[in-house]
Homo-oligomer: A and B are copies of this chain.
Amino acid sequence: MRCEVIAIGTELLLGIIVDSNSAWIGEQLALSGIDSYFQVKVGDNFGRIEASIRQALARSDAVICCGGLGPTQDDITRDVIAEVMGVGMQRDAAIADKIRRIFEARGRVMSQNNLRQADVPIGARPIAQMPGTAPGLVCPVGDKVIYAVPGVPSEMREMMLGTILPDLRERAGQSAVIRSRVLRTWGMSESGLAEVLAERMAQLDQLGNPTIAYQASGIDGIKVRLVAKCKDEATATQVLDVEEALIRRLLGDVIFGIDEESMEVAVLTALKAKGMTLAVAEEVTGGLLAARLTAVDATMATFRGARIAAVPGAEAAGLAARAVAAADAARREFGSTVGAAAIAGPARQAGGPITAPVVLAARLGDRRQQEEIILPADRGRLRDFTVISLLNMLRKALTA
């Protein structure tokens, strides 16, 4: 089963918008065991969209058209699909009603143009999910199929997950259920992970199910993705549970979270479980740490506060002493159980690339946690890696 993706919109070609939809769709197709050999961007031009769809249908079994479903004259995806299907258009009364009601609920006046969105090529089926005013479409062409989804990422995703992926799997004759789980790791290289998991990987190569793949993701760490293909949901969940437990035994606390669980979620969860609170002093990270923590802990019930300033103390006092003092000060200032800080030393070059030392320090009640790491001196990376490293040190100290 092959599926091609066509992203439609002149603003994509002009670089005004980066097409991240195709990448997301490609990932979902891969997880469903469907091949995607080509992904194309094309502007709002009838002839060129038509040529792209016809070519895609010739070399693949299915085509997903993303974008061009809006109400303006530029939005011609519906019309081109009708042309390729060789059919006319018909206004769908239910969709037209839905669009009218959306405008009413928003207290806005609807122009007649908006009803163009309710026009459906004859023989096409609207997609049930419709979070916005643009309906998605399933358009059969012989034994092949064209899907149309809006370019708005959240609307596209809902239709992909709710209708298109299940439809594609059914067409592919897949009665199997495919489920994936991501184990998020920090602190081990990809080759390190591969070494520890080598024996299990070899066993799985024999078994064929589940599969394991690595995905290096910068400051989000290295993701270990488990994919199970089973006869039903319950079996898939069980296979993933068993595999996760096995890999947790091998990797230990290198795993900090599951799926979308970030490092800051792990830290805040651990703090909350112990009834503890946190405050930080930020110098080199200049607010990035607080921004990540407050994005999760909006009410600041667990993360109590941050002071962002140049950390005082004579250079001679040493980085470590200054970092520990800053962590203590943050704890006192905000009256939290835990205080943490990170301070960077001057950049240096010894043969290799330019680096800078960073001291991470934390005070947890009577305990003191401290670590010196060497990071690339490039300021953006230095800041990002300091944030994640300090959070990871806290996480390990809290869960040890």
Contact = CB atoms under 8 A, between A and B. Distances in A.
Contact of A305 (B19, B23, B299, B309): B309
A23 B27 contact: no
B30 A37 contact: no
Nearest to A309: B305
Interface in A23-39: 23-28, 30, 36-39
A291 B294 contact: no
A133 B293 CA distance: 39
What is the total number of copies of this protein in its complex? Answer: 2
Identify which of A12, A291, A292, A293 gathers the most chain B CB atoms within 10 Å of its CB. A291
A308 interface: yes
A295 interface: yes
Interface size range of chain A in the complex: 35 or more
Contact of A18 (B18, B308, B380): B18
Interface in A7-30: 12-20, 22-28, 30
Contact of A288 (B25, B39, B43, B291): B291
Interface in A373-400: 379-380, 383
Interface in A275-309: 282, 285-295, 298-300, 304-309
A66 to B, nearest CB: 13
A211 interface: no
A153 B279 CA distance: 37
Given A18-B23, A19-B19, A26-B13, A42 B48 contact: no
A215 interface: yes
Nearest to A17: B23
Given A14-B27, A37-B48, A106-B352, 12 more contacts: A12-B26, A12-B39, A15-B27, A18-B20, A19-B19, A285-B291, A286-B294, A291-B291, A294-B308, A304-B309, A305-B309, A306-B308
